Amino acid sequence: MKKIVIIAIILATCFISNSCTKDFLKERPVDEIYANNLLVNYSGFYSMISAQRGLMRNEHGRFSATAISPNSVFNGGSDLYFGNQRISTATWWNWPKLITQFTDGVVFKEIFDQMYTIINVSNMIINRAENDPEVDWEGGSVERNEKNKTSIIAQAKFFRAWAYRHLTYCFGDVPLSLEEITGSNYRTDWDRDPIELVRQAMIEDFQYCIDNLDWRVDGNNTKPNQAIARTYLAETYLAIDQVDKAIDVLKPLCEGNQFSLMTTRFGSNAGNPGNSFIDVFRSPLYTDGNNEVLYSFLNAEEESIPYGTTGRCEVRNMFKNYYSYLTEVSTLSHPDYEGKTIDLFWSLNGGKGATRLAVPIGAWRLYEWDNQQDNDIRYDEYTVVKKLYFLDSKNEVFEILNKDGESPIALVPTAAMFATSEGTIKNYFLPSTRKWDNLHSNFERASTDYCFQNVAYMRLSEPYFLYAEALHKSGDNEGAATWINKIRSRAQVSNVTSSDITMDFILDERARELLCEGQRRHTLIRVSQANGGDEREVDNFFKRRIREINEVCGQVEGGTSMLGTTTVSHGAELYDTPVLFPIPKIFIDSNTKIKIKQNEGYPTY
Amino acid sequence: MKRRLFLFLTYMLCFTLSAFAQKTITGVVLDGAANNEPMLGVAIVIKGTSVSTQTDFDGKFSISVKDGDILIFSFLGYSTREVIVEGDAPLAVVLEQDATLLDDIIVVGYGVQKKSDVTGAVASLNKDVLEKRPAPNLVTALQGSIPGLKIELYGSDAEGSKSSTVIRGSNSINAGNAPLIILDGAPYYFSWSELNPDDIESIEVLKDASSAAIYGSRGANGVILITTKKGQSDKARVNYHGYMTVLDVYELPKMMDGDTFYYYKNEAVGDFTLTERNTFLSKNYVDWVGLALRTGLNHYHTISVSGKTKVNNYFVSFIASDNQGIAKGNDFTKYSGRINFEQDIGKWVKFSTNTQINFVDRSGHHVDFQSAYYMNPLAQAYNSDGSLRLQTWEASTDVANPLAELNVVNSNLRRTIMTNNSLDVKFPIDGLLYRLSTNVQFDSRDENTYYGRDTYTGARNNGLLEIYDSYSSKWLVENILSYTKTFGKHSLFLTALYSAQHQTRETNTIEGSGFGSDVLTYWQPDKATALTAKTSEWTKTHVSQMLRANYSYDSRYLMTLTVRNDGYSGFGEDRKYGLFPSVALGWNVVNEPFLKGTKMQNLFNQLKLRVSYGINGNEAIDPYATLPRLSTRNYLGDDYSSEFGYYPTKLESPLLGWEKTASLNVGIDYGMLDNRISGTLDVYDARTSDLLLVKTIPSINGASSIWENIGKTHSYGVEFGLHSINISKKDFTWSTNFIIYANRTKLVDVGLYDENGNPVDDVASGYFLGWPTNCYYDYVFDGIWQIGEVDSNTPLHSQPGYVRYKDLDGDGDITPEKDQMVVGSREAKFDASLTNTFTYKNLSLSVYMIGRYGSLTPNFFVNSHTESYRINLYHRAFWSETYPINEYPSNTRDASSNPKRVRFYRSADFIKIKDVTLSYRLPNKVIQPLRLSKLEVYANMKNLFTFTNWVGLDPEFVGSSSRQRSIPQTRQYTLGLKVSF
């Protein structure tokens, strides 16, 4: 028995001894980068800013869950665009009132998630840059160090305010988060902060950019800079009805000589038939000689850049029409291109489109103002698809014609546009923009969804329109006309006079100039909310213009269309139809400590 | 011939000796377990001397003896018999199999125990099962063989790798539910397909907390112990087992044919492309699935040599196996060798090794069946000149030719070494043993792939290569001290363990594109236009201590106490250790003296009651899970160079620690009527707390989920196993094995509470109280809107032919907030299997069936499609005005007739005749002239027939949509041969 006791003690001793295991169990990952070992010097901070630029470019990228881009969601279902494919995740692009069914919609969730991802990255950068005295700013001198630091902080602030800009136009009041969040202080008790508070933070961030960033950063227009920050700051002032401040902010940009509209042919496209307007899109970089673009996204053909680096976006896919589905096109064949007629067709016509969004006939007719449609270089065949081409058996290019000997592309209203059922609209004969055309060198990729060229994100026209709008609101229609006429002159159309200037005219001119650019819904929401306006009001700019211009989304019960009486309401005349997006249901569900209030018009628990 | 001569000389020698002093006695030894066939190699010793002999091929022996000598006849696995020599008449000795010896010793982890002493729920796999169901992949044979061990085979690739193994249900939500597999004492991390079924001696499944507690940390999901073979007889024995299997497709989903597809596409879409139009006109439809299929063929050969001497024991095997699946290009080849060797070094020390070397070749890309099912039947596979079309028709998506995968140049090799080496040291103190056990595993995977211009991907990238290497090494050192002591009616077995484990993996990837030529395939990374390389690493470590005490009194009252302390590197700084105690009690009722001579004792030859309770841990999270990692988003510089970008997307979880499962098990082991009826019954209740849970949090935090220890699940279930010998006649036996088990797992708490503190659902994460984790939350299908039923009060977009959703809150609108509910779960209510074995003389027939009841799963084949008829569809019915059905909506282009995309939930219940084996063992008189001790031929057929209402692929292939669209089920025909000499 004694022996057993002794043995038991020996065994137990083995068990208790806990020799130096603490070190053995410590984790030391060697292959990963962590914030703590990345954000120690300027290069580390710079790589986070690089990631932010990539995240920003994703406005033209594809959602993970559906083949549309955030940018198309910022435009679809406004006065200028309807869904030309029945994208099940965005049926409100044709039927504005159907948006109420999408509180769990993946696109709203992803927009919400993407914007807060950017905001969190900014918060981390700003917090660490401002509070960590150990950072090596790699400037070599106190002064250069300080400049590197403020440049990083300013760019981070730009991205943060840029994300809040999208959030406020999409969702209205949103939680304002300005602090770095860790696994120990994350929250499930967020609440929506008043939009005024969020905009105040945006104003401070944009102002910091203006104070600390050059007109062009690192000699190009591919990084956050003072020009784009001024534009957004002015827009934010206009959103809160501070017209004078908007004028002050824009004056140095519009009246200075840093930027100018391109009025002569230039860049890589200069030798091709075309005009100076389309050249702006073919060569958007300042280093290409482009003086007009404030901010451009970089892209590249993927075979030529390292793997794991994406150099593409889908902007063309969203706006260019799906012409290969036209009967005149889908019956074409060519003996040398068996099984590849689609590649051949698209390589001859500027790359494939999928018309997630089509421009309604009503919007194309805006070009007819003052009978300038034949002069307007923004509406000629170099800027807008009006003809389609293919190769004959001698490999010579010919124009595709329909059975009447005309181009299949035309502004023809069809019954499908006014169909009462939820069926798909397939208006593949409508014109569409060539701003995002792609002349990709790899024939096998002629029908790719992606575009690999640099993309102009903001052009000088945007601050000009904001300047004109601010001057108009301050009573200076003369001044407003000046800036509108700068844009019209370059487009080679007639000048307007101060008496022509109205808010609707500015919105019309914006449509003509910025078709398939920018975020039309944001603009309409902003001008509708001006002076305390309710964005759901049935006669505000948003809903009234849908009814006036967009023959698909704007159908009302008993209204008239190009084909006669419409019988079914798509909701643009109803106060109940929301204009802001729904707060994503998953956010409401996961924010368990505080019950988030849903936007008006949407179902709630 | 030589052998005969030798035997003859031996006879002569014996004769000469006995002629002098003694007499010679002859005889024959017969196998009582095999119809009194003669037994070869039975050892015969004169008691108290070293004089010995062996039986020959005819079971005959002769030995010189004196009257009154005692002959001892012994053979492994048989009861030893002693016979006193009287007279000169030849002896006929029948040896019977020793039931206690065969069944009694089972592996329980860090040692063995007599089965009657085991207190936990430990199930041993009947070794016959492996013999009766020949398959290259062990997991196929294991399915349905043990109550509570649920194996789902959800695909039929050549390797047989598509399987999941779960013991007693899924308690954990996010941390994995796979059981721990221990091969010869060391954790086994490779796939089932890399084990050789013919190497395996026994398989034990530890199901309850007490038996699994010795593996405390990782025991929460149960443990499977696999032991490989040892040498068994003094004479070297050579075994060969080989078979050939032909595989054919069992059932294909009924996709639309070209005419049907054209009709429905025309109705819903109306647009056709050039190729589609031409195909329709020429009626030259492509049978994509047919093009993707072939007849499969498997070869399997294994040969082993084994034996033992007084001081050593060896088992050496080699296997070669080559499988060609029914999907074109789906091949799996394996070569593997094993050496098991034990050697006594002096009196006190024994060295042993179990070493396996594997070479596995998974090269080649096979046709992707998902795209074969879905490829447009109006598209074309080949150009008119016979070359493969990369784009099968004119569209930008869903056009890649599935056959072009066969052009991918791919080499995928894996080499593994697993070696266990240990020293057993006996101490002068009787019963005290020390064992130093080490395990080293090394494996490498080298996969090189090249997509040339003859592939869809390669054509778009001017050639694309991927070179992937991964190396992993693992070591484990265990110090085990054990002490066994019997005094009077008490017996004690103590075990203590101290172990350390280290695992590390490194991977290197190179990707390149833009090549001038395809000739060099993947041997040209230096010629790439664009190239990237990536290296990654992880390491995880464990430290464990364990104490176990087994005590029994008079073989009646049994007790096991276990405590294990585990440290895992993957947890937060102060949460690395977990302590896991357990207790188990057993009562061998039939050994009670008061039952002596009662009817009860006549009826039961075995009756044991067991009860156990304990806590086990689950650590199945990846290394570095608690650390805040950064994601990569590279951007471009103005010169189009890569600018590396990192951004935070994951929050750290510094407080993450062990998930714990406390479980209670009550069981009965019974054997009745001389073991004509035997089996087990177990009832259990397991409560898991501190779940390793991925909780959905507001994305405003910079991450939309975080790992936390929150929440609770509750599982309970019953398992019943019955083995009966229904008929046992001289030439004919019929036995039945029946297994049925049911498990229920429910979420009890997911960390969210209402104002009153009661737990509530986590809708955002998809966790619903009272339901298992794999339940389905959806709108409720309520038939189809019929003509005349739609008016202004019906919800938005109700139209005749459209899906009608149940308006759960009755507010007249269908909203995600108020009209969704849990509609069911994929978890089966019952699983059962039935095996009947008939033996007539040397002929044996075994029929094995499995079944599942109570599983509800969305059938993705009959889903409303969203692809505008760019893909082919399952040929199911559509509602129309003239065919107003209530099951499926009308034919629309993009699921408009099912605007909420409700899925179609269908019962995946089935009964399947899984496996039939007919085997014939040639009689000894036939094989003896061939010098063989065993010659058996068999025919086996798998997946004979399935009774089910499920449509599409096999109802076992449920779960994710990709499983439901995988390589179809196969029917397999095998002919095999087993030879021993």
Tell me the sheet residues that pair with B845. B838, B918
For the cut 60, the answer to whether the pLDDT of residue A184 exceeds it is yes
- What is the predicted pLDDT for the residue at A93? 93
CB A226 within 8 A of CB A209: yes
How far B273 CA lies from chain A's nearest CA (Å)? 5
- CB spacing of B899 vs A101 below 8 angstroms: yes
Q: Which of B633, B750, B803, B902 to mutate to test the interface with A (most CBs of A within 10 A)?
A: B633
Query: Count of CB atoms within 10 A of residue A440's CB?
Result: 20
- What is the predicted pLDDT for the residue at B31? 78
Q: What is the token pair recorded at B526?
A: 């230096």
The residue with greater pLDDT, B587 or A12, is B587
Question: Tokens 């329909």 appear where?
Answer: A402
Q: Which of B275, B385, B394 to mutate to test the interface with A (most CBs of A within 10 A)?
A: B394
Q: Does any CB of chain A come closer than 8 Å to the CB of residue B710? A: no
Would you place residue B98 in the very low, low, confident or very high pLDDT band (cuts 50, 70, 90)?
low
Distance CA B612, CA B583 (A): 6
CB A108 within 8 A of CB A89: no
Query: Shortest CB distance from A15 goes to which of B545, B765, B816?
Result: B545
How far B886 CA lies from chain A's nearest CA (Å)? 21
In degrees rounded to 5, what are phi and psi of residue A585? -60, -35
For the cut 60, the answer to whether the pLDDT of residue B14 exceeds it is no
Conformational region of residue A518, where left means phi above 0, alpha means psi within -120 to 50, and beta covers everything else: left
Distance CA A591, CA A603 (A): 18
- What is the predicted pLDDT for the residue at A450? 86
Q: Does any CB of chain A come closer than 8 Å to the CB of residue B427? A: no
Distance CA B219, CA B647 (A): 37
- What is the predicted pLDDT for the residue at A124? 96
Name B835's Cβ contacts closer than 8 Å, sequence gap at least 6.
B129, B132, B736, B737, B738, B846, B847, B848, B849
The mean pLDDT of B801-825, rounded to a whole number, is: 89
- CB spacing of A55 vs B653 below 8 angstroms: no
Query: Shortest CB distance from A86 goes to which of B496, B542, B893?
Result: B893
Distance CA A100, CA B524 (A): 55
* CA dihedral (A206, A211, A215, A216) positive or negative: negative
- What is the predicted pLDDT for the residue at B115? 77
CB B847 within 8 A of CB B836: yes
Query: Shortest CB distance from B271 goes to which of A298, A300, A325?
Result: A325
DSSP letters for B90-116: PEEEEE-B-HHHHHHEEE-SSSEEEGG
Size of interface A-B (CB pairs under 8 A): 337
- CB spacing of B483 vs A15 below 8 angstroms: no
Mean pLDDT of chain B: 87
Distance CA B823, CA A188 (A): 28
Q: Which of A307, A421, A597 to mutate to test the interface with B (most CBs of B within 10 A)?
A: A307
Distance CA B156, CA B137 (A): 11
E strands within A21-171? Answer: 82-83
The mean pLDDT of A193-215, rounded to a whole number, is: 97
Query: Shortest CB distance from B569 goes to which of A26, A50, A325?
Result: A26
For the cut 50, the answer to whether the pLDDT of residue B5 exceeds it is no
- What is the predicted pLDDT for the residue at B352? 93
- What is the predicted pLDDT for the residue at B10? 46
Could you tell me the CA-to-CA distances from B887 to B251, B822, B862, B864, B869 in Å, in that order? 23, 20, 11, 12, 21
Cα-based torsion angle of the residue sequence A73, A75, A78, A79 in order, rounded to the nearest 10 degrees = -160
- What is the predicted pLDDT for the residue at B16? 43
Query: Count of CB atoms within 10 A of residue B138's CB?
Result: 22
- What is the predicted pLDDT for the residue at A421? 63
Q: Which of A1, A3, A10, A15 to mutate to test the interface with B (most CBs of B within 10 A)?
A: A15
Distance CA A157, CA A125 (A): 9
Name A143's Cβ contacts closer than 8 Å, sequence gap at least 6.
none
Q: A444 contacts in B (CB within 8 Å)?
A: 459-460
Query: Shortest CB distance from A422 goes to which of B272, B630, B797?
Result: B797
- What is the predicted pLDDT for the residue at A423? 58
Q: Could you read off the pLDDT of A271-296 as tens digits, one per residue?
A: 999 999 999 999 999 999 999 999 99
Cα-based torsion angle of the residue sequence A167, A171, A176, A177 in order, rounded to the nearest 10 degrees = -60
- CB spacing of B380 vs A29 below 8 angstroms: no
Please, which residues 727-766 of chain B have a Cβ atom closer than 8 Å to chain A? 752, 762-765
The mean pLDDT of B829-858, rounded to a whole number, is: 92
Q: Does any CB of chain A come closer than 8 Å to the CB of residue B275? A: yes
Could you tell me the CA-to-CA distances from A64 to A357, B632, B645 in Å, in that order? 19, 16, 20
**Cα-to-chain-centroid distance, residue B114:** 26
Cα-based torsion angle of the residue sequence B598, B604, B606, B612 in order, rounded to the nearest 10 degrees = -90
Query: Count of CB atoms within 10 A of residue A358's CB?
Result: 29
Distance CA B758, CA B419 (A): 52
Q: Which of A7, A192, A349 to mutate to test the interface with B (most CBs of B within 10 A)?
A: A7
For the cut 90, the answer to whether the pLDDT of residue B62 exceeds it is no
- What is the predicted pLDDT for the residue at B164? 82
- What is the predicted pLDDT for the residue at B783? 94
Q: What is the token pair recorded at A4?
A: 């057993």
Q: A452 contacts in B (CB within 8 Å)?
A: none
Query: Shortest CB distance from B275 goes to which of A175, A339, A343?
Result: A339
- What is the predicted pLDDT for the residue at B7? 46
ipTM of the complex: 0.90
- CB spacing of B514 vs A340 below 8 angstroms: no
Query: Count of CB atoms within 10 A of residue B337's CB?
Result: 15
For the cut 60, the answer to whether the pLDDT of residue B15 exceeds it is no
DSSP letters for A501-526: --HHHHHHHHHHHHTTSS-HHHHHHH
Q: Which long-range contacts (CB under 8 A, 24 or more apart) does B346-351 make?
A: B347/B426, B348/B425, B348/B426, B348/B427, B349/B423, B349/B424, B349/B425, B349/B426, B350/B423, B350/B424, B351/B421, B351/B422, B351/B423
Q: What is the token pair recorded at B252?
A: 């294909």
For the cut 50, the answer to whether the pLDDT of residue B692 exceeds it is yes
The mean pLDDT of B158-163, rounded to a whole number, is: 80
DSSP letters for B711-749: -EEEEEEEEEEEEEEEEE-SSEEEEEEEEEEEEEEEEEE
Nearest Cα to Cα of residue B937 among B950, B949, B925, B927 = B927
Q: Could you read off the pLDDT of B75-87 as tens digits, one per residue?
A: 766 777 888 888 7
Q: 3-class DSSP state for residue A442?
A: coil
- What is the predicted pLDDT for the residue at A20? 54
The mean pLDDT of B261-276, rounded to a whole number, is: 89
Distance CA A278, CA A80 (A): 20
Q: Which amino acid is at A69?
A: S
Distance CA B67, CA B709 (A): 77
Q: 3-class DSSP state for residue A9?
A: helix
Question: Tokens 């060797």 appear where?
Answer: B341
The mean pLDDT of B352-368, rounded to a whole number, is: 94
Q: What are the start-end ranges of the H helices in B117-192?
A: 127-132, 138-142
- CB spacing of A311 vs B817 below 8 angstroms: no
Q: B275 contacts in A (CB within 8 Å)?
A: 339
- Mode of pairing for the β-strands spanning B180-183 and B223-228: parallel
Q: What is the token pair recorded at B254?
A: 């009924």
In percent, the amount of chain A with pLDDT more than 70 equals 94
Which range, A229-243, B579-593, B738-752, is most confident?
Answer: A229-243
pTM, 2 dp:
0.82
- What is the predicted pLDDT for the residue at A1? 57
- CB spacing of A306 vs B531 below 8 angstroms: yes
Query: Count of CB atoms within 10 A of residue B681's CB?
Result: 15
Q: A426 contacts in B (CB within 8 Å)?
A: 271
Query: Count of CB atoms within 10 A of residue B718's CB?
Result: 16
Name B576's Cβ contacts closer than 8 Å, sequence gap at least 6.
A25, B567, B568, B569, B657
Nearest Cα to Cα of residue B937 among B975, B888, B890, B981 = B975
Name B80's Cβ contacts closer than 8 Å, sequence gap at least 6.
B72, B73, B74
- CB spacing of A34 vs B651 below 8 angstroms: no
- What is the predicted pLDDT for the residue at A16? 52
Query: Shortest CB distance from B640 goes to which of A300, A308, A449?
Result: A300
Q: B797 contacts in A (CB within 8 Å)?
A: 98, 422
- CB spacing of A343 vs B391 below 8 angstroms: yes
